[in-house]
């Protein structure tokens, strides 16, 4: 199992007194978050997981899961459409 990579600059807090529709609050330290996002971006995205520790506190961790690459997942090239000439001389309009 890989070591967790904690999301620097991100802080999630759950307020137990908040209404049920409020899940929690996310706070960002702009400079730390920008650096973290720059360091871990892949194709313009960074995936994060909000988790609960054994002590019951919430934390944010980098989601490093990637699908396995195998021959079945390789996509075939798009078919090229052939141009077909139609004979519309017999059409009534």
pLDDT tens-digit map of 14-71:
999 999 999 999 999 999 999 999 999 999 999 999 999 999 999 999 999 988 887 6
| Contacts (Cβ under 8 Å, ≥6 apart) of 10 | 26, 27, 28, 29, 33, 36, 48, 60
Q: Residue 90 class from Cβ within 10 Å (0-12 exposed, 13-18 middle, 19+ buried)? A: exposed
Residue 55 is part of which domain span?
10-65
**Token pair for residue 48?**
């994060």
Asked if the structure places residue 25 within a domain, the reply is: yes
Asked if the structure places residue 73 within a domain, the reply is: no
Asked if the structure places residue 72 within a domain, the reply is: no
- Nearest CA-CA partner of 56 in 3, 10, 16: 16
Asked if the structure places residue 49 within a domain, the reply is: yes
Asked if the structure places residue 30 within a domain, the reply is: yes
User: How many folded domains does the chain comprise?
Assistant: 1
Query: Pairing state of beta strands 25-28 and 10-13?
Result: antiparallel
Q: What is the pTM of this model?
A: 0.67
């Amino acid at each position: 199992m890989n070591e967790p990579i904690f999301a620097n600059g991100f802080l999630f807090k759950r307020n137990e007194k908040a209404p049920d529709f409020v899940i929690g609050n996310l706070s960002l330290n702009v400079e730390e978050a920008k650096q973290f996002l720059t360091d871990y971006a892949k194709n313009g995205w960074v995936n994060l997981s909000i988790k609960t520790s054994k002590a019951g506190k919430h934390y944010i961790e980098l989601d490093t899961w990637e699908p396995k690459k195998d021959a079945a997942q390789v996509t075939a090239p798009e078919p090229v459409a052939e141009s077909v000439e139609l004979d519309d001389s017999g059409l009534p309009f």
